[in-house]
Amino acid sequence: MFITPAYAQSAAAGPDPITSLLPFILIFVIMYFLLIRPQQKRLKEHRAMITALKRGDKVVTAGGLVGKVTAVGSEESDEITLEVATGVKVTAIKSTITAVLSKPEPANTK
């Protein structure tokens, strides 16, 4: 009727530490591939888009303004000037640019 001492000792021992950590490791790997990695990829693409901005690009800001880039600040300066209507210019921060709608066509050099 009583439990033998050998059986009682083996039941008291906890699970293997690696086995108990396996679900946490698996969850982290899934989170990395579903959340962290795509976010880093989007951030890298956004930085490339911001560095490629030049005069004449038609862009959209995070606030919803659509305008043509008339001046791009230096590397230290994080500002650009947008023309949102004829004669109406606004200054915006480069990081608020969310999309480049069109690029100007290169001039014909013939």
pTM confidence score: 0.68
Is residue 1 over pLDDT 60? Answer: no
Q: 54-102: which CATH architecture?
A: Roll (2.30)
Measure the CA–CA gap between 16 and 2, rounded to whole angstroms.
27
Q: What is the pLDDT of residue 66?
A: 94
Residues with Cβ within 8 Å of residue 59, at least 6 apart in sequence? 53, 66, 67, 68, 69, 82, 97, 99, 100, 101
User: What digits encode the pLDDT tens for the residues 37-90?
Assistant: 999 999 999 999 998 888 999 999 999 999 999 999 877 788 999 999 999 999
Written as one string, the DSSP assignment of 28-74 is HHHHIIIIIHHHHHHHHHHHHHHHT--TT-EEEETTS-EEEEEEE--
Q: What is the pLDDT of residue 26?
A: 94
Segments making up each domain of the chain, as ranges: 5-47, 54-102
